[in-house]
Amino acid sequence: MNDLDEKDRLLLGALRADARMSLIELTRHVGLSRSAVHERIRRLEANGVIAGYTVKLGTERERPGVEALIAIGFQPGRNCDHIVPHLSGIPNVVTCWSLAGPTDLMLLVECGSNAELDTIRRQIATTPGIATVQTHVSLRTHFDRR
């Protein structure tokens, strides 16, 4: 995103705030013509800067009952190529980040209960190549800019 200009950044900020903003609203926000804004959006999508559009759930009752971060350490000689394919098959694992440092992977897990989280955690812990699993249950979300 280093080669983005100020208009691109304004456009991305507006879309992040409201991805359903109309093209006319975007033109007013960015200060460009409709065709220029449309072309910028097309270019940002084609270059992978905009990877997609999604729905963000707003109220607690629409969010999963339990969110947890699970920190994973690999067994010696193992890497993401060995582990990630196993984890990608677990639907409750909604995000998987590779990290530098003592933790090799960090997972965001969403599920309906602590009992379900325990089952998912056990499934992760028994994945071949995983040495350590630490679970951190989220108590409250103060803000989320995703």
80-129: pLDDT as tens digits: 999 999 999 999 999 999 999 999 999 999 998 999 999 999 999 999 99
- Mean predicted lDDT score pLDDT of the chain: 89
Residue 52 has pLDDT above 90, yes or no: no
Question: What is the mean pLDDT of the segment spanning 55-80?
Answer: 81
CA–CA separation, 125 and 11 (whole Å):
42
pLDDT computed for residue 108 by the predictor: 96
Whether the CB-CB separation of 136 and 69 falls below 8 Å is answered with yes
pLDDT computed for residue 121 by the predictor: 97
CA–CA separation, 141 and 110 (whole Å):
13
Q: Pull the structure tokens for residue 93.
A: 């694992």
Q: Which helix (H) or strand (E) element contains residue 33?
A: none
Give the confidence band of 33 by pLDDT, cuts at 50, 70, 90: very high
Residue-by-residue DSSP string for 99-132: -SSS--EEEEEEES-HHHHHHHHHHHHTSTTEEE
Say if pTM beats, i.e. exceeds, 0.85.
no
